[in-house]
Amino acid sequence: MNKPTISTIIVIICLLIIGLYAMGEVNYFSSKIIVEKNIDAPKVIISSIGVNEKINNKSLDLGVLSDPGENIPTKGPIALWGHRTLQGSPFLRLNELGNGDTFILEWPEVGELKYEVVNTTIVPETYDFNPVGNNTTYLITCDPIGSTENRMIVQGELIEKSPLNTKIIKDNPQEANAPIISAIFLVLGLIFSFFYPKDNRIYILATVLIISAVLFYCCINPIPSELIFDKIIFLNGGL
């Protein structure tokens, strides 16, 4: 067997880095399924930008965080925080919302609440944010993409309240994301290996198969995704 060339070693390192990012996302989606299973959590739906996320009051690393978590719509302001990149990227396209656009909160024991966007503000990361308004919900993420320098705050005001469809709130449209990410990595890795020079192909193939095995294992037995992202966050410089 030929020794791996310098270029092959570089490719393997790149595959490992990509694999770490994929592993973080796989663990994120797999952990969410376990955490959210049979739990009637509130949900935020922003159809125009593809958001359909359950809300938690424990950690931003579990998806969309309600902070302060004890607040209830119509009885206090709601602040919802979400990552712009990585860990599901729930608020990746938040910048696409403009005044007049709408979003929905499905909240147990409160109802289905429809909000209209009235303002979008960009503030420094150090900004002292104090939410106000019983009928106000704020959607907050980092800005620009790949940086934690600023915060984007989208303000929505309640315009409609109706009874809650309890069946919809239990759906998890992201439950297949973890195996899909794992399968995509495996398929693309096998294709890349097939076209790689024969004398070093075995090293690339072995790397792809090992990483893929770990990814599929994490689909069943996830670890907290922050344990991975905390180690590699310097590679992209932000959330």
51-71 pLDDT, tens digit per residue, is: 888 888 877 777 888 877 678
Task: Verify that 222 and 194 share a domain, yes or no.
Answer: yes
Q: What is the pLDDT of residue 79?
A: 93
Number of domains in the chain: 2
Q: What is the pLDDT of residue 220?
A: 84
The mean pLDDT of 108-133, rounded to a whole number, is: 90
Q: Residue 222: pLDDT above 90?
A: no
* Average pLDDT across the chain, whole number: 84
Q: What is the pLDDT of residue 239?
A: 45
- At 120, which CATH number? 2.40.260.10
Task: Verify that 57 and 128 share a domain, yes or no.
Answer: yes
Closest CA to 161 of 72, 74, 79: 74
Task: Verify that 209 and 163 share a domain, yes or no.
Answer: no
Task: Verify that 140 and 113 share a domain, yes or no.
Answer: yes
Q: What is the pLDDT of residue 54?
A: 85
Task: Verify that 83 and 98 share a domain, yes or no.
Answer: yes
What are 124-143's pLDDT values in tens digits?
988 888 888 889 999 999 88
Cα–Cα distance measured from residue 206 to residue 186, given in angstroms and rounded to the nearest whole number: 11
Per cent of the chain over pLDDT 70 is 83
Q: How confident is the model at residue 38 (pLDDT cuts 50, 70, 90)?
A: very low
User: Is 1 inside a domain boundary?
Assistant: no
Task: Verify that 94 and 157 share a domain, yes or no.
Answer: yes
Q: How confident is the model at residue 176 (pLDDT cuts 50, 70, 90)?
A: confident
Instruction: Give the range of the structural domain holding residue 213, as residue numbers without chain letter.
Output: 6-32+175-235
The mean pLDDT of 194-200, rounded to a whole number, is: 91
The H-or-E segment that residue 206 falls in is helix 201-220
Report field, pTM of the whole predicted structure over 0.75: no
Cα–Cα distance measured from residue 1 to residue 23, given in angstroms and rounded to the nearest whole number: 30
Q: Residue 149: pLDDT above 90?
A: no
Q: What is the pLDDT of residue 71?
A: 81
Q: What is the pLDDT of residue 36?
A: 55
Task: Verify that 60 and 150 share a domain, yes or no.
Answer: yes
Cα–Cα distance measured from residue 85 to residue 109, given in angstroms and rounded to the nearest whole number: 32
The H-or-E segment that residue 52 falls in is strand 51-56
When mean pLDDT is compared across 62-71, 89-98, 125-134, 149-158, the lowest value belongs to 62-71
